[in-house]
Amino acid sequence: MTAVPRPDSAIVLFGHGARDPEWAGPMRRIRDTLLARPEAPRVELAFLEFMSPTLPEAIAALAQAGVRKVAVVPVFLAQGGHLKRDLPVLLDEARAAHPGCEITLATAAGEAEPVVRAMADYAASCLG
Report how far residue 61's alpha carbon sits from residue 128's, in angstroms, rounded to the nearest whole number.
46
DSSP 13-48: EEE---SSGGGGHHHHHHHHHHHTSTTPPEEEEEES
Q: Out of 13, 16, 45, 63, pick the active-site residue.
A: 16
16 is catalytic: yes
- List residues with catalytic annotation: 16
